[in-house]
Amino acid sequence: MKKITFIGTGYVGLVSGACISDFGHMVSCVDISNEKIECLKSGKLPIYEPGLEELVKKNVKAGRLKFSTNIEKAIKDSEVIFIAVGTPQNEDGSANLDAVKSVAEVIGANLNSYKVICTKSTVPIGTGSLIKEIIKNKNEKNVKFDYVSNPEFLREGSAVKDFLWPDRVVIGSDNQKSYKIMEEVYNPLYINNKPIINTSVVTAEMIKYASNAFLALKISYINEVANLCETLGADIQQVAQVMGQDGRISPKFLHPGPGYGGSCFPKDTAALASLSKKAGLEMRTIEAAIRTNIFQKNRMVKKMKNLVGGTFKNKKIAVLGLAFKPNTNDIRESSAINMIDAINKDCGVIKAYDPIANDSMKLIFNDILYYNSWQEACDGADAVVIMTEWNEFRAISIKILKSLLKTPVVLDTRNILDIKKLIDNQFKFDNVGLGTSHAD
């Protein structure tokens, strides 16, 4: 059993801290936000993630997980310290490391015994050296410490599952002592024969960026193929299905849609492109993926506008799905933002609904109409657009949908509605790579 501190109780810190406490370790999740910590102490979670609330309650009750704003004490009491603060995007696309640097200074000033300092935050390649240097400069007593990089590979909506049953765990360390300590932290996974991979610090940092950027590239690629399918009359679902049966390709992330979003892919692709430019290189494929993603989001707006006669003015549009993906309330870089913004600017009326993310979207658009069900949102609307593939949207009755809408018009950006039923019910519709109907 290790005494472990997570600095930062955002998505990565909270999920990782709760899961590691479930391994039997004593975990303190600390944050500078008193409001956030008090919220967590009262049992309320700032994010929606399946299985997380139960995991937090279980380990708080067992005494293995606690929350505090006393960062200095938590550092002194711990054997392993995880840095899990945000690294938002700067205007030039690079990662903002202000929070990481600040945490490194606090750690350095409060070292009182040997500790392993571990970064969970996604940071640019080479940040490990910067963190070590900051800690050394603040470490006036020259207390020994080791630094490791332990990137996270969590998918929002299935993060708990991904942490407890990972494909791999990457530990970037420059000596065996720190690696063995991290191996003890992840001991239950080691016993279950999950691959724990030891690399250098800089290699671990690169693995994280390379992985996320590749997945973003894969999404942008299949979206471009889908757009070509529309022009040539091919079926993107069959194309993607057969492609995915090739073991070299795999079916994951071969789902065309309105463009990728979330807290990782947009930020990490931009950061990798920015870093490569600073290194005197160009990541041409990644830069193309970024451009393609912007194009895809704008393409969805054009599709919706074409369906309603070329303008949103005075049209009521039901927007179903606000989160960037299902099973999360995260709306960061969601394609729905682009759609809502375009409808707003063209003087349209938005009737929005998401099973989880209404409150999150209100922080960006507080002047649009929000509803508590898809039926309420669609009632009296001139058209509907599906932006997120929530399961309840997959089960939408096309007959009921038609009875609610003023005109039977739908844009299905996730390809989850039955095209035959849309045609049978005389819908005017569009999708991504499957063909359209312009029934009157």
DSSP-derived letter for residue 154 is: P
| 169 beta partners | 196
Contact 306, 372 (CB under 8 A): no
The answer for residues whose C-beta is within 8 angstroms of residue 60's C-beta and 6 or more apart is 43, 66
Active site residue 118: no
226-254 per-residue burial string, b: 16 or more CB within 10 A, e: under 16:
bbebbeeebebbebbeebbeeeeeeeebb
Cβ(261)–Cβ(334) under 8 Å? yes
Q: Which of 229, 264, 347, 378 is catalytic?
A: 264
* Strand segments (E) across 375-424: 383-386, 409-412
Number of H helices, E strands in the chain: 19, 15
Task: For residue 209, give every residue at least 6 positions away whose Cβ sits within 8 Å of its Cβ, in sequence order, or none.
Answer: 122, 124, 125, 268, 271, 272, 275
What would the two tokens of residue 31 be? 């944050």
325, 336 contact by CB (below 8 A): no
Positions annotated as catalytic residues are 264
